[in-house]
Structure formats: structure tokens, C-alpha cells
Amino acid sequence: MLSTMQDDVPLTISRILRHGMTVHGDARITTWTGEAEPHRTTFRATGERAAQLAHALAELGVAEGDVTGTLMWNNAEHVEAYFAVPCMGAVLHTLNLRLPADQLSYIARHAGDKVILVNGSLAGLLAPLLPHLPGLEHVVVSGPMAEEARTALAGASGVRVHEYEELLAGRPTAYDWPELDERRAASLCYTSGTTGEPKGVAYSHRSVYLHSMQVNMAESMGLTDADLSLVIVPQFHCNSWGLPHAVFMTGVSMLMPDRFLQPGPIAEMIERERPTHAAAVPTIWQGLLAELTANPRDVSTLTQVTIGGSACPSSLMKAFDDLGMRVCHAWGMTETSPLGTIARPPATVVPGSDEEFAYRLTQGRFPAGVEGRLIGPDGTELPWDGESAGELEVRGPWIAGAYFGGVDGDPSRPEDKFSPDGWLRTGDVGVISPDGYLTLTDRAKDVIKSGGEWISSVELENALMAHPDVAEAAVVAVPDEKWGERPLATVVLRNGAAVDFAALRDHLAGSGIARWQLPERWALVAEVPKTSVGKLDKKVLRGQHAAGELEVRRV
């Protein structure tokens, strides 16, 4: 028996756009400008400008299936592109502006960018890449740019340069969005390339639609049209964790920081614009905490904070609790769109109790659309007992099943990130409790294999950052003649702190770390290296140690 439902209605981004424009047309997008008044617009106006942009791109020759890149900050114009490009049947490719030039060039070529939209403040970053992008035909610049960048763009052979507002001016504010196959690619996001070249993940209209629904679930971010979300997580990072699409479903207004990502401006925009929710990686929140400690602000409206990208230290979570900002831990990756788990404690625990806090420190539960399993070193599936540690594998309708164009640009290369039966091998090591809460203990490549036992670098880092004199910490495995590998702890001290390594080692011992896991090797660093999306870049630290660039002391 077949169903009697309208199963052939495709789940497309154009349906999200139309809904946001009509049902939530007065919801706001506010872009911080650094001036007395930010730029303000509505969902309705954003949809109309998206139609104008689609007409302009079509005139430039962008057809269904063509790729349009964006090199842009989080702002209203970027949201316009988020809808215009996929809704017209083309593919949006968000370029990570923090990648080195060679990787930026690589992914623009690999994706096949035909047009690139760029903020004027980033035009100087794009201009040197143009000689390496033979398939690029048009660059569209939004906002003012330096004369040097203008001259460099104008001198690029074979590339026509346009001004964004001039391109949109006078065009129709409605577009006959085509009915697309929901399985078609809507957007391309690339991994940060910490090992090998960045890898492309092509999200479908269907996966974006379903992921947006999950973001809006009460067990996930649970936002409503009464909320204002400060979207700090970059739009080039997993589609800004799905927020720009999700909010058009529910009417959540957005506050976009543009290029003003320093702690001071973020604190000012929270105080002035009064957001109720924000999303960003832990390094952003660590900087904001230091700013609020030095220069207190009224941030009382910001009661929900979503943290992902890397583990949130318990000390940071407690500090934000004291400020009235409730942190909700989440886990995901580019390949998972990114929502994989989110740490909403079960209703059975007492609010404010130690048990509730322990649940909040986990990566959280899997939503209904994501299945998870743990695979041991021998390839067997492990039980959900909260003790058996293995590599996490996931599958679901918004989980990648392959990489765009293969691995490192070679379609013939086997994709070892996927199991023979189609599950994504995440590279994360952890345990799952009987009630479905995931706790990650490390990345498979970062776990320290010492004397046949595993030491969690994440556990050591979180314990170190709980010390009042430690601003940041990263722990990596280094070779050891006796044990194979041992931990090297690198720390950044707070201004004015003078704590010694012996005291930090005693602190770890007092935090419940087993004595055999305590680091003997220590190094002070000015800052911990970060990847382009704000995660600890441990391969850099390992390279610095191998090259003898770190001043390592034994304790």
C-alpha cells in the first residue's frame, strides 16, 4: 500500500525562504557596522534582495548546477546569497577566509567557482588568488574596498569586477524559483584541511531542510520568534551551524557581527542590541569572559549560549553560569551539517545539581535524525555502557556519505572516512552512556598512547584550564623511548600570573588525574595555535616540538 500523502513535494531551500518572507517577514537581520547605528533589514526585504541577486547572477551566466563562491563576513548580504544561489538551482560555496592562500585557491578551483561574491574589506585577500583561478569569470564586491585592492582586481586577466549594489539596482524583487530535486546540491562547505587538502561536503536541499527542522527542536537550540540570536560562528563554517536557514523557519531574528569579532565589540553589541542567544566556539567565549571580567557590561539578556567546535572546559561553563549565561554543549563537524549531538540534560535530574552539570559537560544526546555507534580497535561495535571507549561513527539524513570530487582532488582515491556499510568515521574517540549521552575523550589522532594505555589530551586540557592562572592549554603526544608516547603540556598563563609547572602538575593530581597520566614535559607558549575555525591546532605544536622550537622543561 502506498501512502496518500503529498510525498512528491520537495524539501527545498526556496520553501524555507518563502515561509520566512511571508509568515515571519518582519523578523530582523541586524549587521554590526562599528558605527553609531548598525544596518537593519527584515526577512521580507532579504528575500526580495535575494531575488534581485538571483536575477543578476543569471545575467552573469550562472545556471543551474554552477558554483558561486562567497568570501564574506557574517552579514545581511551573505544571508541574501545563502538563499539566492541555491534557490535558483546553483550551488553556494562558502570560502573560509582564514585559510592560507594556497588552500583558498585549491578549494575555489576544486569547487569550480564561476563567480565569487566578496566583501570589500576582504577584496585584498581575494585579489592575489585570481591568477590561480582559471575558471573564475566574475567577482562581485559588496561594500567599500581599498584602492590597492580595486586596482589588483581590475588588473586580473579574464575576470570582470562588479559592484554588488549596482548589480542589484532596479532588478525585480521577485524570482520564479524553480522546483528542484531535493537531493540536488545546495551548498558546498570544505573541511579545514588539518590533514591533507580540505575536503568538500555537498549539502543537499533535503539535508538542509531536515537539519533546519532539528536545529529548531526544543531539545536542540529551541529558539522562537521571541529570540534574537547573535550568530558569531562564521557563515563559512558548516553553514553557520545551520542558523541562517533555521531562523527563516521560526522567525528568530539575527544579529550578525560582520568583521567585528574581537571581545570588546562583541561585548558592546550584546549590551546594546540585547540578544537572547549566541553561538560560537569556546575560544570566542574565553576572550569574551576575559573582556567582561576586565570591563563589566550588562549582558543579562544573553541567557542561552551554544558552544561547539571543541570541548568546553568546565571552568568556562561555570564562569558563564555565574554571569547568567547558560551554556549548552553541542558536537558536530562539517560532515554532519553540523548538528550531531546536543547536551540538554534529562528532565529527571535536579536543576543546578552536580548530576545536571555532569550531563551538560557531555557532548549530549543524538537527535532522532542521527544514529551513533562506537567501534573498538578490533573493529567490533562496543556497548553503550559509559565505559567502553571507541571511535564514533554516525549516519543520518544530514550526514555526509562521500566527499565532493573524492579525496585530495582524486576521485579514484578510497574514502577511508566512511565504513563499508556507509557510516561516517568521525575520528573522535569517546563513550556513550546507557541513556544515549556522548562523551568525547579525544580525537583519534590526538589520543596519547602511553605504555599500551590511552591518555585523553582533552581531559588534561580541561583540568589545566580550571586553574585560575591558566588562560589556555593544549596537550599533545610526544615520542618517549620507554613508553612510546607521553603527554607534553603547553600552557598560556594569564597576565601577571607566575605559577610554576610543579604547581600545575600538583593541580592535575588534585583534579583526579591518575598519577601515571600526569605530564613530565611542560612548555610555556605565548598562544596556542588555532585552526581556521578556532580549534586547537595540535599538529603545529607537534611540529614545533619536533623542530626543537619549544622550550620544554621536565618536572
By annotation, the residues acting in catalysis are 191, 335, 449, 454
Grid coordinates belonging to 169: 539596482
Closest CA to 390 of 442, 429, 427: 429
Strand-pair partners of 306: 279, 328
Whole-angstrom distance, CA of residue 75 vs CA of residue 103? 24
The two beta strands, 437-443 and 424-432, are antiparallel
Contact 39, 33 (CB under 8 A): yes
DSSP states of 415-430: -TTB-TTS-EEEEEEE
CB hemisphere CA count around 360 (13 angstroms): 25
Give the sign of the dihedral formed by CA 183, CA 188, CA 189, CA 195.
Answer: positive
- Work out the number of other CB atoms within 10 angstroms of the CB of residue 241: 25
**Cell 605559577 sits at which residue?**
499
**Dist. CA 322–CA 302, nearest whole Å:** 12
If DSSP codes are grouped into helix, strand and coil, which group holds residue 243? helix
Q: Is the dihedral of CA 267, 268, 272, 273 positive or negative?
A: negative
Residue spans of beta strands (DSSP E) within 308-398: 326-332, 339-342, 364-365, 371-375, 381-382, 390-395
Question: How buried is residue 99: exposed, middle or buried, by Cβ count under 10 Å (0-12/13-18/19+)?
Answer: buried
